Structure 1
Amino acid sequence: MPTTTGHTTAIPASRTIGTSVYNTAGDKIGKVEDVMLDKTDNSILYAVVGFGGFLGMGEKYHPVPWSTLDYSKDKDGYVVPFTKDQLEKAPAHSIEELTKNDGHAARDAAYSYYKVQPYWL
Structure 2
Amino acid sequence: MAMRDSSTTGASVTPAAGVAIEETAQLIAAAKVGGTPVYNRHGDRLGTVDDVMLDKRTGRVAYAVMSFGGFLGIGERYHPLPWSMLNYDVELGGYLVDLDRDRLEGAPSFASNEDMNWADRNFGQRVSDYYGVRPYWAEVP
Distance 1:101 1:76 in 2: 28
Q: Which secondary structure does the structure 2 equivalent of 1:39 belong to? A: coil
Q: How does 1:1-121 map to 2 (within 5 A)?
A: 8=26, 10-95=27-112, 96-98=114-116, 100-102=117-119, 104-121=121-138
Q: Give the paired residue count.
A: 113
Which runs of 5 or more structure 1 residues have no equivalent in the other structure?
A: 1-6
**1:3 — aligned with what?**
none
Structure number with larger C-alpha Rg: 2
> Do 2:64 and 2:80's aligned partners in 1 also have CA atoms closer than 8 Å?
yes
Which runs of 5 or more structure 2 residues have no equivalent in the other structure?
A: 1-24
Give me the identity figure in percent.
Answer: 45
State the TM-score, normalized to the length of structure 1.
Answer: 0.81
Q: Which secondary structure does the structure 1 equivalent of 2:38 belong to? A: strand
Structure with greater proportional helix content:
1
Distance 2:39 2:134 in 1: 21
Distance 2:104 2:31 in 1: 24
Q: Which secondary structure does the structure 2 equivalent of 1:67 belong to? A: helix
Alignment CA distance shift 1:14-1:103 (3 Å): farther
Alignment CA distance shift 1:88-1:38 (3 Å): same
> Do 2:38 and 2:95's aligned partners in 1 also have CA atoms closer than 8 Å?
yes
For residue 101 of structure 1, report the CA deviation from its aligned partner. Answer: 4.9
Alignment CA distance shift 1:101-1:84 (3 Å): closer
